[in-house]
DNA sequence: CGATCGTTTATGTATAGACATATGAGCGAT
DNA sequence: ATCGCTCATATGTCTATACATAAACGATCG
């Protein structure tokens, strides 16, 4: 038993969590390099003096987070990181602005209910025809435009949206409270402001902007497409990555 | 038994996976709204005709991904989504270019070993003084520059990097093979190309560019800071979000 | 009436055993 | 040498059981 020196006995931590932590430690420290075969379940069973289910729970968890790969008959191996997966937190714009210590203001610029055009349907990946709501609004940080929001909402998926004016509440927070979310795809790119965007954001035409587009589905149905355009200097997205575990 | 119509009997899917999928379905479809109490383990045990451990595995998994919250003595409840977290896959640039069907080429522009300047240390959040390696390289997609890479590597954390010329292999893939990663932070923003960047990327000064900066740590030590600058039209980051599960 | 204490209950953790399944390795026949 | 076959083995899944623990509930007592 050589584990006494590496752990603190007093903590009420469960055994499978400790096994998981021990193995993560060795992988992240580089002691067990990618490709290394970690001990078999029955070996860990012996080392920790516990049943196989306990070891299995820890290893399954490690496999789920992508730190190891399990192969029947061969054992479990430290994975070589192929593509790093970073977690990008998508906050409400109001919170973002207020965290900067600036007063937030929201303004609806246009509001149009229309029969979905082919362009609308392409943006939302909506296959059937149907009415859509097209919104255009601006979010301000103090006196300056912080971001331009161009949004389409499928009224097939969210008929209640037709009754909402969106004068007081931004479509983002409204949707969060009205639609169960199931999937979203974000596309992030840079672009030069065209004349319309430049006017809306108060920047020169051609000025660099960060564009975040999001498509959202709810149980297979496209719900909304939104494009946020930020002047280059107003916004930075931050994504964090810790391979050991989520949450 | 009202489940026969919702599932396909032929698939060799495990029972706990099916329980997990069934419950996810009901939450994501909105049938079970946030705050709703999902059946107790012993009720699901009866419904599915299985042992409690099997049900427990499914529910624990749901709790881990954040879809439900479990409370002792009270039961398990559907969680209200607070902030969306999207998963951003960070790929190797070579793979990115090749997936576009273009020939990839890498070119080292400058390579300098130096005593870390205060600016270097600030970028890496390195607190002690120490030698660093400063690299500047370009990645090409066909004839056109795809991206400019400006990188600092702490030689305290990775002394072996001093021996590597980085003429043939890009620092990114080299580091992946030599340093166990433990944490990374990405900052994504748009910017206008300054004269130097414009020259390196073959674009007009002021042209919009997407900038991805990454800081990486290995077991608490800063390892590297890298800034990738892409011409606006060459690159889009994609982040996906599925609350049901990762991977 | 309110504080305290035991009881109940659902989850949390762990066990020992069982069978399924995929797959690498070795063996044998062609 | 190559193609199949069998066999051993590590993981994948599941069961029935057990005890621990946190928290809500209710009854009892000051």
| Report field, pTM of the whole predicted structure over 0.85 | no
Residue environment code for A49-88, b if the CB has 16+ CB neighbours within 10 A, otherwise e: eeeeebbbbbbbbbebbebbbeeeeeebbbbebeebbbbb
Mean pLDDT of A44-55: 98
The alpha carbon of residue A118 is apart from the nearest alpha carbon of chain B, in Å, by: 23
User: What pLDDT is attached to residue A9?
Assistant: 41
Q: Which helix (H) or strand (E) holds A119?
A: helix A118-124
CB B170 within 8 A of CB B137: yes
Burial of B53 (0-12, 13-18, 19+ CB in 10 A): exposed
Which chain B residues are closer than 8 Å to A81 by Cβ?
176, 181
Q: Provide the pLDDT confidence category of residue B236 given band limits of 50, 70 and 90.
A: very high
Using CB atoms, pick whichever of A219, A232, A243 lies closest to residue B181: A243
| Chain A residue nearest residue B231, CA to CA | A190
Residue A229 tokens read as 């355009």
Which chain A residues are closer than 8 Å to B83 by Cβ?
89-92
B73-113 pLDDT, tens per residue? 999 999 987 667 788 888 889 999 999 999 999 999 999 99
The alpha carbon of residue A212 is apart from the nearest alpha carbon of chain B, in Å, by: 9
CB pairs under 8 A between A and B: 192
Which chain B residues are closer than 8 Å to A206 by Cβ?
206, 208
Mean pLDDT of B16-45: 94
User: What pLDDT is attached to residue A138?
Assistant: 98
pLDDT over 90 at A5, yes or no = no
List residue ranges whose Cβ is under 7 angstroms from nucleic strand D. Answer: A 12, 40-42, 52-53, 56, 59-60, 63, 70-76; B 14-17, 49-54, 57, 71-74
Sign of CA dihedral B95, B96, B100, B105: negative
User: What pLDDT is attached to residue A8?
Assistant: 41
Q: Output Rg (C-alpha) for chain B, integer angstroms.
A: 25
Mean pLDDT of A49-78: 96
Alpha-carbon span A191 to A27, nearest angstrom: 40
| Chain B residue nearest residue A237, CA to CA | B188
B199-217 pLDDT, tens per residue? 999 999 999 999 999 999 8
Would the CB atoms of A240 and B184 count as touching at under 8 Å? yes
- Chain D bases closer than 7 A to any CB of the protein: 8-18, 21-24
A143-152 pLDDT, tens per residue? 999 999 999 9
Q: DSSP letter at A203? A: -
Give the nucleotide nearest to B44 (CA→C1'): C10
Interface probe for B, chosen from A91, A189, A197, A238 (most Cβ of B below 10 Å), is A189
- Overall size of chain A counted in residues: 247
How many helices and strands, by DSSP H and E, does chain A display? Answer: 7, 11
Using CB atoms, pick whichever of A27, A28, A184 lies closest to residue B241: A184
Which chain A residues are closer than 8 Å to B148 by Cβ?
none
Instruction: Taking each helix axis as running N to C, give the angle between helix A15-28 and helix A41-48, from 0 to 180 degrees, rounded to the nearest 10.
Output: 120
Alpha-carbon span A16 to A57, nearest angstrom: 7
- Average pLDDT value over all residues in chain B: 89
Q: Which helix (H) or strand (E) holds B99?
A: helix B93-99
| 3-state SS record for A45-64 | HHHHCCCHHHHHHHHHHHHH
Among A187, A101, A173, A186, CA closest to A137: A173
Alpha-carbon span B151 to A228, nearest angstrom: 30
pLDDT over 90 at A205, yes or no = yes
CB atoms closer than 10 angstroms to residue B194? 12
Determine the distance between B74 (CA) and D28 (C1') in angstroms.
25
Which chain B residues are closer than 8 Å to A89 by Cβ?
83-86
């Amino acid at each position: 038993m050589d584990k006494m020196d590496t752990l603190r006995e007093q903590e009420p931590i469960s055994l499978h969590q400790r096994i998981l932590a021990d193995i993560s430690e060795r992988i992240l420290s580089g002691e067990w390099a990618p490709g290394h075969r970690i001990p078999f379940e029955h070996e860990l069973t012996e080392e920790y003096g516990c049943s196989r289910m306990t070891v299995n729970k820890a290893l399954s968890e490690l496999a789920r987070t992508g730190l190891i790969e399990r192969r029947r008959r061969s054992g479990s191996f430290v994975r070589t990181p192929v593509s790093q997966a970073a977690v990008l937190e998508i906050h409400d714009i109001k919170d973002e602005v207020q965290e900067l210590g600036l007063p937030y203001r929201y303004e609806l610029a246009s509001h149009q209910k229309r029969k979905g055009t082919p362009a609308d349907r392409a943006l939302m990946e909506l296959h059937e025809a149907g009415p859509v709501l097209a919104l255009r609004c601006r979010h301000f940080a103090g006196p300056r435009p912080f971001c331009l929001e161009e949004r389409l909402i499928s009224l097939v998926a969210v008929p209640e949206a037709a009754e909402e004016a969106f004068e007081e509440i931004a479509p983002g927070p409204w949707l969060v409270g009205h639609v169960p979310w199931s999937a979203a795809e974000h596309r992030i790119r840079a672009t030069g402001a065209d004349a319309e965007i430049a006017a809306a954001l108060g920047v020169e035409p051609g000025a660099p902007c960060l564009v975040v587009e999001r498509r959202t589905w709810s149980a297979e149905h496209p719900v909304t497409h939104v494009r946020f355009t930020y002047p280059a200097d107003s916004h930075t997205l931050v994504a964090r990555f810790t391979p050991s575990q989520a949450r």
